[in-house]
Each structure stands twice: as C-alpha cells, then as structure tokens.
C-alpha cells in the first residue's frame, strides 16, 4: 500500500481519535454566589416559595413566563416564551408561542405545556396542598380556561373583564413548566424540588438551607449561557458572605448593607452594584392582639416611626421613604399627593391616650437579618415607639413559621411587599385583600377592603380604579392600618470587577446571555 501524503495521514489519524479528545474545551466560568437565604419554605415550587428577596434571585434562571420583564432596563414587558400577544376582548388575551424552545427535559415547548401550567392538575386539584391552591387562586382569581388554538397559539379566557391579564402573565405564578416531566413524577410532592422549565440554567441539586446548583442549559432559546454552572450558597451572616467573596470562595455576594460598600470596594478587584428595587419594607399588624384591636394604637405606631431616620442611619441615603404602598410605574393608577403617616410623636401620644393604651406588651417578631439591616431597623423602631409610650418587645425568630406561629400573642412583624406587575392588584390586593396572605394568616381583614379588591380587579375605567385604590390606601394605612411602610428597599451585590455582569433593577440575579458583556 503506497504511503499516504503527510496531510492525509494526519487527517486519517485525527479521524480515528475518540471524539472527546478533539472536542473544544468548555472555558466558561463556574460561578458561586453567597446569598442570605435561598428559599424560605425549603421548596422550589413557585406556588409555595413566595419570597421576593430570596427566590426571585434564581427562579428566572430555571423557569420563564410567556411575557417577560426587561431586567436590563426598566422591567417593562418584553417578549418571553411568547413572541406576541393581543387582546381579543376584555376577558381574552391570545398569545403566539416562541417556536423551537427546548425545555430542560429535551421536549419542545408547546401549547400543551402552557395549558398544563395553568390547568387544574397544576393549580386546583384537591390533591395539591391547600396553600398551593390558595396562592394559585390569588394570582389568577378569575381565570376560566386556557384554550389551545394550535401548537403555538394559546388563548387565556377570564370569567370577568380584567385589564391586568398581561401583567399577571409576566409575574410570579405564571412560570411555564414541562408538562411531561411533571406528569412523569406524578405528584406535587415529587415535583416540588424538581422544576423543569425553559430557562438558561437547569437544576442539578438543591439542598435546603445550604445550596442550589444549576447547570447551563446549552439549548437555551436565548443563546448559549455564559456560565457553565451556577452555585448559590446560603450564608446568613453578612460578614461571612463578604469574607467568602474576599477569599475567592465565591465571585458574588448578595444582600450587602450600604455601610459595607466602601470597605468592600477598598479590596482590590471588587465592586458593588445595585440600587432601589420594586419592594417596600413594611411592618404588618395582627389586629387580633388585644392591644392592637383599636386601630388608633396601630396608627400611633405608624406616627412613632421615623422612616427617614432609618434611611439615613442604615441606608446611607440609598433607600427612600416612598408615597405609601405604591410605585410610580403604576402610571395612571399612581395616587399623587399620598404619603405614609408623618413622623409625629405628639400625635402618636394623643392616639394612645384616646385609645386607653396602658403600656401593654406588644410582640415584635423579626428574623435575624433576613432582610438587610433587619435587626438594626427593629432596634430603632423599638426605641422610637418606647419614646411615645409604646411597649414593643422584640422577639428574634429563626424562620417564618416561628414568626407566624399563633402560639402566644402576635403583634407586629417584619415583612415586605413587591408589585409583581404595574398595577395595585399585584401588591395591595395580593397581600392584603380577601385572598391575601394577611387574611390567610389570620392577622388582618377588612370588609370594605375586600369588596374594593373585587371592584379593582374587575374595573375597566382607569379613573374609577384609581379612586378605588386611593380609598384602599386610606383604609390600609390610616383608618384600619394593616401595615406601616418603612422604606423602599435597595439591593446591593458585591462581585469580582472583571466579570462582565450588571445588576438588574430587581432582586433577580440575571446570568442569561443578555446580561453578560464579555
């Protein structure tokens, strides 16, 4: 046999090599992120795990919605798993699905997956836990059905007119799961920590209270993910998160208090990004507490709190006291001229005297810095209330079940509220309305507020809806206080400077191809 030319011989030799020997190495980084908390519930299911400042960080990396939110700009609505949508009438929205979307189990996204994600088997079946069904009803209180028009077209039909359907489809609880993967596991219990979606990363491992590990979903419709693997480590203490970043154990550290920013940025190669996010820190009342039955005592607490002092002392001016439980991106629904109850110690004392308050102890339940600067904030509030004669007794709890435990009188507790889309039904109705968490927890309910919630959800005249919302604010923040707004939250992330990543205007840690400049 004649000898092969040198080039041909090399080619023949290469052809005989195992494929892995000539495959291109994956040079993408493996990223570790230190977070204060991964999931409050110890569960990854979106109908149980509800925390904005915990699960919002990673949910969008695994599961996506039909209508997205622009995490690189102002959170405005953008195409997600649907490329287009249109109103056919006040009750109906029709959406065109993105073609060729690969799910984590290898299936291609179809209308069947969408219908399943909103159907009875996933949201209303009696076999589901009661709290899961309740949250699903809260997100879509009047959804009648999802019609499959063809494999790439779905139609959402509401029982009533709802101007907020598009907003609801961009928010939490609207994430699309792989129908076949869910059905193969068979039950909610089997699926609760095994989400299978379409996001840029897919689940490898979840250890509650410890770690969440995701791997790149290389068939992602938005392009090849820039990170090979993403590991979230739960490190509750701020100092330990910062130390992990400085030592190189992690490349990102979340929940950085403003007073730590200057010190971190003195470290070579580190920077801090972030700012205001659509989330308000609040105190929630349990008006079943004997001392809080009288709304004047709750209003006195509101007047005793100096929100600006908290912002100045703990947030270095990087947060703000907002105009009540609302956000400017509500547009037409924003109520101008509204404000939180003014810091007014004299008025607080007058209210307490009129209510006959005699210094009874009121439990104030907080977590150990689950929220940024939570304990320092609580200590300031306790002292401000003590100055007007209020006896708030701080109780630091380990977890949310302990905070909400009905054993022993509940008084006030730390909480937060996020507008998941650009309308008040996503915030004030969602948390404080007839299907909201405060009523479900047995803390607070108001008959007029419940009636107005239904009117706001079904209303079609924006001016009338704004009047309804204004009345809700009057009830919830003045007449029968459900909560006190302390300040708008800000979120800060410390990171390695060389990594080409930008903080989103939300709690979400966006590691999609859209947010990696390198």
Asked whether the beta carbons of 437 and 416 are under 8 A apart, the reply is no
| 518 pLDDT above the threshold of 90 | no
Q: Once rounded to an integer, what is the mean pLDDT over residues 347-364?
A: 98
Q: Once rounded to an integer, what is the mean pLDDT over residues 395-403?
A: 93
What residue spans define the domains of the chain? 30-238+499-515, 277-489
Dist CA 255 CA 34 (whole Å): 9
Res 221: pLDDT? 98
Selection from 161, 168, 182, 176 nearest residue 97 by Cα: 176
Res 20: pLDDT? 44
Asked whether the beta carbons of 192 and 45 are under 8 A apart, the reply is yes
Q: Once rounded to an integer, what is the mean pLDDT over residues 248-269?
A: 95
Residue 380, number of CB atoms within 10 A of its CB:
18
Selection from 442, 480, 436 nearest residue 454 by Cα: 436
Q: Once rounded to an integer, what is the mean pLDDT over residues 275-294?
A: 97
Among 12-26, 318-332, 491-505, name the one with the lowest average pLDDT. 12-26
Banded pLDDT at 23 (limits 50, 70, 90) = low
Share above pLDDT 70 across residues of the chain, in percent, rounded to a whole number: 95
Banded pLDDT at 16 (limits 50, 70, 90) = very low
Residue 435 to residues 391, 446, 518: CA-CA distances in angstroms? 31, 12, 45
Strand extents, DSSP E, 372-482: 391-397, 412-417
Res 407: pLDDT? 85
The predicted-structure confidence for 36-59, as pLDDT tens digits, reads as follows 999 999 999 999 998 888 999 999
Chain centre to alpha carbon of residue 145: 26
Selection from 468, 463, 423 nearest residue 450 by Cα: 468
Dist CA 76 CA 78 (whole Å): 6
> 52: phi > 0 → left, psi -120 to 50 → alpha, else beta; which?
alpha
Banded pLDDT at 515 (limits 50, 70, 90) = very high
CATH of 277-489, one of 3.90.920.10, 3.30.2000.10, 3.40.1350.10, 3.10.105.10: 3.10.105.10
Res 25: pLDDT? 85
Give residues with Cβ within 8 angstroms of 202, minimum separation 6: 62, 104, 196, 214, 215, 216, 217
State the chain's mean pLDDT as an integer.
Answer: 93
Res 7: pLDDT? 35
Q: Once rounded to an integer, what is the mean pLDDT over residues 50-69?
A: 94
Dist CA 459 CA 234 (whole Å): 43
Strand extents, DSSP E, 266-369: 270-285, 361-367
Asked whether the beta carbons of 160 and 458 are under 8 A apart, the reply is yes
Structural Rg of the chain based on CA atoms:
25
Per CATH, 30-238+499-515 and 277-489 having the same topology is answered no
Asked whether the beta carbons of 517 and 500 are under 8 A apart, the reply is yes
Res 1: pLDDT? 39
Among 1-10, 61-70, 158-167, 419-428, name the one with the lowest average pLDDT. 1-10
Look at strands 201-207 and 211-216 and give their pairing: antiparallel
Dist CA 73 CA 80 (whole Å): 15
| 9 pLDDT above the threshold of 70 | no
Banded pLDDT at 235 (limits 50, 70, 90) = very high
Selection from 498, 506, 36, 31 nearest residue 260 by Cα: 36
Helices (H) and strands (E) in the chain, counts: 20, 16
| 196 pLDDT above the threshold of 90 | yes
Give the homologous superfamily in CATH for domain 30-238+499-515: Periplasmic binding protein-like II (3.40.190.10)
Dist CA 388 CA 501 (whole Å): 47
| 4 pLDDT above the threshold of 80 | no
């Amino acid at each position: 046999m004649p000898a092969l030319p040198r080039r041909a011989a090399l080619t023949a030799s290469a052809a005989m090599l195992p494929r892995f020997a000539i495959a291109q190495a994956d040079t993408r980084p493996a990223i570790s992120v230190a977070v204060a908390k991964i999931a409050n519930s110890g569960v990854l299911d979106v109908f149980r795990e509800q925390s904005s400042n915990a699960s919002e960080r990673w949910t969008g990396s695994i599961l996506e919605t039909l209508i997205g939110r622009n995490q690189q700009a102002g959170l405005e609505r953008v195409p997600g798993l649907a490329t287009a949508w249109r109103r056919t009438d006040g009750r109906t929205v029709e959406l065109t699905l993105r073609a060729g979307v690969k799910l984590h189990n290898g299936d291609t996204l179809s209308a069947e997956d969408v219908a399943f994600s909103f159907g009875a088997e996933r949201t209303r079946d009696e076999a589901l836990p009661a709290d899961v069904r309740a949250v699903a009803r809260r997100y879509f209180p009047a959804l009648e059905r999802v019609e499959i028009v063809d494999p790439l077209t779905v139609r959402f039909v509401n029982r009533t007119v709802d101007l907020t359907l598009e907003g609801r489809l961009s928010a939490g609880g609207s994430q699309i799961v792989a129908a076949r993967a869910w059905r193969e596991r068979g039950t909610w219990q089997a699926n609760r920590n095994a989400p299978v979606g379409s996001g840029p990363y897919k689940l490898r491992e979840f250890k509650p209270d410890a770690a969440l590990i995701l791997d790149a979903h290389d068939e992602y419709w938005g392009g090849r993910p820039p990170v090979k693997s993403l590991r979230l480590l739960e490190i509750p203490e701020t100092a330990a998160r910062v130390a992990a970043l400085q030592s190189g154990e992690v490349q990102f550290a979340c929940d950085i208090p403003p007073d730590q920013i200057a010190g971190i940025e003195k470290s070579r190669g580190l920077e801090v990004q972030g700012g205001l996010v659509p989330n308000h820190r609040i105190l929630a009342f349990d008006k079943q507490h004997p001392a809080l039955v009288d709304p004047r005592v709750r209003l006195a607490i509101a007047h005793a709190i100096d929100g600006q002092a908290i912002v100045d002392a703990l947030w270095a001016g990087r947060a703000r006291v907002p105009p009540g439980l609302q956000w400017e991106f509500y547009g037409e629904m924003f109520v101008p001229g509204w404000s939180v109850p003014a810091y007014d110690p004299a008025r607080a004392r007058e209210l307490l005297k009129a209510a006959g308050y005699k210094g009874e102890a009121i439990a104030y339940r907080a977590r150990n810095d689950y929220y940024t600067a939570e304990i320092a904030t609580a200590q300031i509030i306790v002292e401000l209330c003590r100055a007007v004669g209020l006896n708030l007794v701080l109780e630091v709890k380990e977890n949310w079940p302990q905070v909400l435990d009905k054993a022993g009188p509940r008084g006030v507790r730390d909480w937060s509220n996020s507008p998941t889309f650009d309308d008040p039904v996503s915030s004030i109705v969602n948390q404080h309305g007839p299907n909201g968490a405060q009523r479900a927890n047995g803390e607070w309910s108001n008959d007029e507020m419940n009636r107005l919630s239904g009117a706001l959800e079904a209303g079609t005249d924006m001016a009338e809806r704004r009047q309804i919302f204004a009345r809700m604010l009057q009830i919830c923040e003045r007449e029968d206080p459900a909560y006190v707004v302390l300040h708008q939250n800000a979120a800060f992330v410390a990171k390695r400077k060389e990594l080409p990543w930008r903080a989103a205007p939300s709690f979400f840690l966006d590691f999609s191809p859209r947010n990696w400049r390198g």
